[in-house]
Structure formats: structure tokens, C-alpha cells
Amino acid sequence: MTGNKPQTVGATPPSVAEVTLRLKAVMDPELGDNIVDLGMAAVDSISADGVVAIAMKLTIKGCPLRVQIKKDIESRLESHPGVTKVTIDWGEMTAEERTAVMTRARWNAREQAPDTQIPLNTRILAIASGKGGVGKSSVTVNLAAALASVGHTVGVLDADIWGFSIPRMLGISDRLEARRIDGIEKPRMIPNERVVGKGLLKVVSTGMLVEDESTALMWRGLMLTKAVEQFLNDVHWGELDYLLIDMPPGTGDVQMGLARMLPRTDLIIVTTPSVSAQKVAIRAADMARRSFLRVAGVIENMSAFTCEHGES
């Protein structure tokens, strides 16, 4: 607010508790919680003539949500008849405070996540990249095969809806079928199963739904997200030790939808020695951070080492 509004006749300034309660109605839309419980906002002072001073800490100095948060704070506080003006002292969180906020936001995301058919004890790894052509799908297939070969049951979800390639890489030409499962009213899609070593692969892909793999899927973002949601809810995965998700390149609708539906996912980022690929991979890591997903590791694919003897 730029100027003081007249105090309502007979009104008294709000208490700290009243102001705090109103601040709790202001949400950080990115972090999914109110600014008080996140440790971002606190009452600095309340003067006798109704000027309320708020100390506000942002996670980063250039937070793009600053303007929206400012409007929300002013709107909530200025509606009190005893408030004549709202001032906000902007600051930035320390590294420790940011860590605490992210921990809370990650916990909130997990608590609010919708139910899926993925067992709670399944380790979920999303194989992601900033751009295409870095070998992300190859890494997914090789990692899945390696885990299965030592006795694990591994689900492979091809979430690259447009650019599916997992079926061809695994030599799968069978289509997905739906059938009734004992005790479940609605028919479920059944993953294609492949025995690998001592373990088992369970594979699902849009490539196993289309008649011809050369057919382009011209779907918009909402349809892409719904397709992934169906793979998580309408597939009878059964018991899984691991679920590997081959992500589409970039940081779009599928990535954001998956972070909402499976917030316990760990991300493995695939890149190459190319500087351009590495720069774009940083964006994938930033997407993970802002979606409260943990980056479990980075794989530099298509790399070679030349020793001092000149051999690779």
C-alpha cells in the first residue's frame, strides 16, 4: 500500500496473533504451504496508529512470486479495520533456512500426493534429460536390465508419450491388454513381462497401444499428463522393487504432473560431454529442485577417456 488509509472509527490495531492468523491465509503457490509455517513471514511491529510491519524472507532474492505474495499480504491485512498501512521488509533466506523450507515442502507434497497403483515400498527412479539425443532411453533400458539380472522385479514406464522407444529397444511387439483382476472391479492393463537373469521386467508404453509405431501422437499437454496418470492408476503393476520412468526430454507437463503424482521419485539426469547438453541438463535439475524431487545422480553418457598412452 502506498499511502495510509484512514482507520475505522472505534477500531483498534490488530494483535500479533490476529495478523499472524491472516498471514497464514497467504500461500506460496510454488511451495504449497502458507508463508508463516514455511518460516517466510513474521510480524515485525504494529504501531498504535495501525501501521503493520512485516518481515518477509524469500527463498531466493529474485523470486518471481514476490509481486503476487505482496498483493496477497496487503489484501489480507488491509481488510482489517484497524490497519492503516502495511510495510514489508524483504530479505533472503539463509542456506539452512532454504533447506528447512524445501524439506517441509517435500513432506507436504508427499502427504498430499494422490494414490496410485505403485506399491509404497517401491524405489522410483525417473531418468531425465534437458534435451533429446543424449541416450536417456538407452540408460533406462540398461539400468532396468542390470537391476533385473540380479534378481529384482523392475517396472519400466515409458513416459515419453510422443517419442516412445522402450518397446523397440526391448524387442517388444505385443500390445497391452486389459483384464479383470480378482478382487478388483475395474479391468486393469497388464504390463508386458520379460524374464531377465534372476529377475523380471514389467514394461508399459504408449508404443504398446498404437497400431503402428510410425503414427504420430498429436496430443496436447493435458492429454499427456492424463496418459501418464492412467499408467500409474490403471495398470496392474503388482509387486515392484524398482520403477524406472523414461521421461520425455525437457521440463514440461509430464515432468510437472509426475512430480505431483509421485513426489517420492528420485531423478537421474543424463547428459553428454557437450556443453550445450550440460547447460540444458542444469534446467532439468532446477525443475527437480523446484518440484521438491531429489537428484540421485548425473550420468555423463557417450563419454570416453584417453589415457596417457593414447588408448581410449
Q: Could you tell me the CATH number of the domain that includes residue 41?
A: 3.30.300.130
312 inside domain: no
* Structural domain that includes position 105: 16-111
User: Which pLDDT score is estimated for 312?
Assistant: 60
User: Which pLDDT score is estimated for 105?
Assistant: 77
Mean pLDDT of 111-134: 86
- Of 77, 111, 145, which residue sits at a domain end? 111
306 inside domain: no
Residues 52 and 139 in one domain: no
Domain count, the chain: 2
Q: What is the pLDDT of residues 94-118, one digit of tens each?
A: 988 988 887 787 777 666 667 788 9
Residues 93 and 140 in one domain: no
More confident residue, 103 or 198: 198
SS (H, E, C) the chain: CCCCCCCCCCCCCCCHHHHHHHHCCCEECCCCEECCCCCCEEEEEECCCCEEEEEEEECCCCCCCHHHHHHHHHHHHHCCCCCCEEEEEEEECCHHHHHHHHHHHHHHHHHHCCCCCCCCCCEEEEEECCCCCCCHHHHHHHHHHHHHHCCCEEEEEECCCCCCCHHHHCCCCCCCEEECCCCCCCCEEECEEEEECCEEEEEEEHHHCCCCCCCCCCCCHHHHHHHHHHHHHCECCCCCCEEEEECCCCCCHHHHHHHHHCCCCEEEEEECCCHHHHHHHHHHHHHHHHCCCEEEEEEECCCCCCCCCCCC
7 inside domain: no
Highest mean pLDDT among 84-98, 102-116, 180-194: 84-98
Residues 218 and 151 in one domain: yes
Residues 86 and 170 in one domain: no
Mean pLDDT over the full length of the chain: 87
Q: Does the pLDDT at position 2 exceed 60?
A: no
Band of pLDDT at residue 3, cut at 50, 70 and 90: low
User: Which pLDDT score is estimated for 104?
Assistant: 81
- Of 111, 143, 163, which residue sits at a domain end? 111
Q: Does the pLDDT at position 26 exceed 90?
A: yes
Band of pLDDT at residue 267, cut at 50, 70 and 90: very high
